[in-house]
Amino acid sequence: MEFGLTEEQVLLQDSVGRYLADHASLDRARQFADGAEERAADVCTALAELGVSGLIIDEAYGGVGLKMLDAAIVAEQLGGNVTPIAFAASAVMVPLALQRAGSEAQKAHWLPLLAAGEASAGAAVSEAVAAREDARISASGGTLTGRALFVLDHAADVYLVADDRRKMHLVEAKARGLTSTRLTSIDKTRHIGELRFEGVAADPLPGSDDPAVLADVIDAGRIVLAADTLGAAQNMLDQAVAYAGERQQFGRVIASFQAVKHMCAEMAARLEPCRAMIWYAAHAFDEVPEESRLTACHTKAHLGEVGKFVAKTATEVHGGMGFTDLLGLHYWFKRIGFNRQMLGGPELVREEAARLQELI
């Protein structure tokens, strides 16, 4: 019995972490955020070689065949390094949907491309969580009509689209009748956007008649976004402690002021249990089905809250420097803000948690 990571998982963590530290530093994220790149091709290629894009894809389709906990470990690294790469939808939600509900032809076509990093996939499922602006997609006669907002990993070759009956479809980015618009968000390290469908021919996922599949896809996305927040928040805390150890005021390092120490202690105290929570949620996703939904909801909501607290507090520890673009701390702040709202903010997800327990 062991509640923790295996040696292989620690290795995965280290190899992804080391690559990102060496080659995908803040400067690279900044360059991506400032520029007009659709994709950070160098980072995508290198991470594909490390197995990141095919992480949970079966070996038969060119992937590594790992599980949600491995995906969470990688997501934590990506969040920690504010890596500008499509992961939550492209490497987790869409491959999962395909593997659980796709036809053989769909799998055989898309999974190897995704695993190799030669294609990327977006997820248009926000309306299945909470529709804004009354956006919805309806399916009839093999076509889709309507609007999908906040599509995750929007700069994609193919989209997974949930319709208003919670059935899922694949739609290629170049499909006729599809209009795609980037929605600029605070987080410039990941793309979200809007899709408009006017009678677009869609390719339904045959297994998605079972609504549990979409719920699983959303759970997976939530776990991965929460893990991204864990990494980002841990990094902000580490930066705050390091900065406080160097910055001097009143003739001493600010880390020796109790007010500053207590801010850092509170961040650590709230964040540390999140690590175990992510591990468990990701593990439960694959291995403890009776607990997995509730755990995923609470993990998403809880990391959203703790992340928000750490993002604010770590920024404060940096004083004016924290507020500048120069230091770049805001990339983490915004990453955490993004993860909090996408696929359901804390209040909405907790309401789901209550419903799952039949408290409503």
Q: How far is the CB of 301 from other proteins (least distance, A)?
A: 6
Q: How far is the CB of 62 from other proteins (least distance, A)?
A: 25
| Residue 347 interacting with other proteins (CB under 8 A) | yes
Token pair listed for 346 = 């804390």
Q: How far is the CB of 139 from other proteins (least distance, A)?
A: 32
Q: Which residues within the stretch 251-290 sit at the binding site for other proteins (CB under 8 A)?
A: 252-253, 255-256, 258, 260-262, 264-266, 268-270, 272-277, 279-280, 283, 287-288
Q: Which residues within the stretch 132-161 sit at the binding site for other proteins (CB under 8 A)?
A: none
Residue among 93, 123, 224, 244 that touches other proteins (CB under 8 A): 244
- Tell me if 156 sits within 8 A of 172, measured CB to CB: no
Token pair listed for 347 = 């209040």
Q: Which residues within the stretch 8-37 sit at the binding site for other proteins (CB under 8 A)?
A: none
**Sign, Cα dihedral of 290, 295, 296, 298:** positive
By C-beta, is 201 or 356 nearer to other proteins? 356
Checking phi first, is residue 139 left (phi over 0); if not, alpha (psi -120 to 50) or beta? beta
Place of tokens 């605070």: 186
How long is the chain?
360
By C-beta, is 18 or 355 nearer to other proteins? 355
> What is the 8-class DSSP label of residue 257?
S
Q: How far is the CB of 191 from other proteins (least distance, A)?
A: 29
By C-beta, is 98 or 278 nearer to other proteins? 278
By C-beta, is 41 or 268 nearer to other proteins? 268
| Rounded distance between C-alpha atoms, residue 190 and residue 193, angstroms | 10
| Rounded distance between C-alpha atoms, residue 213 and residue 117, angstroms | 24
Q: Which residues within the stretch 68-97 sit at the binding site for other proteins (CB under 8 A)?
A: 69
| Rounded distance between C-alpha atoms, residue 196 and residue 258, angstroms | 54
| Rounded distance between C-alpha atoms, residue 129 and residue 343, angstroms | 6
Q: How far is the CB of 270 from other proteins (least distance, A)?
A: 7
- Tell me if 121 sits within 8 A of 152, measured CB to CB: no
Beta bridge partners of 252: 249
By C-beta, is 36 or 259 nearer to other proteins? 259
Distance of CA 100 to CAs 6, 159, 169, 213, Å? 26, 16, 13, 7
Q: What angle do CA 109, 111, 114 make, to 5 degrees?
A: 110
Site size for other proteins (CB under 8 A) = 50
By C-beta, is 5 or 215 nearer to other proteins? 5
| Residue 7 interacting with other proteins (CB under 8 A) | no
The binding site for other proteins (CB under 8 A) comprises 1-6, 69, 241, 244-245, 252-253, 255-256, 258, 260-262, 264-266, 268-270, 272-277, 279-280, 283, 287-288, 295, 298-299, 301-302, 305, 346-347, 350-351, 353-354, 357, 359-360
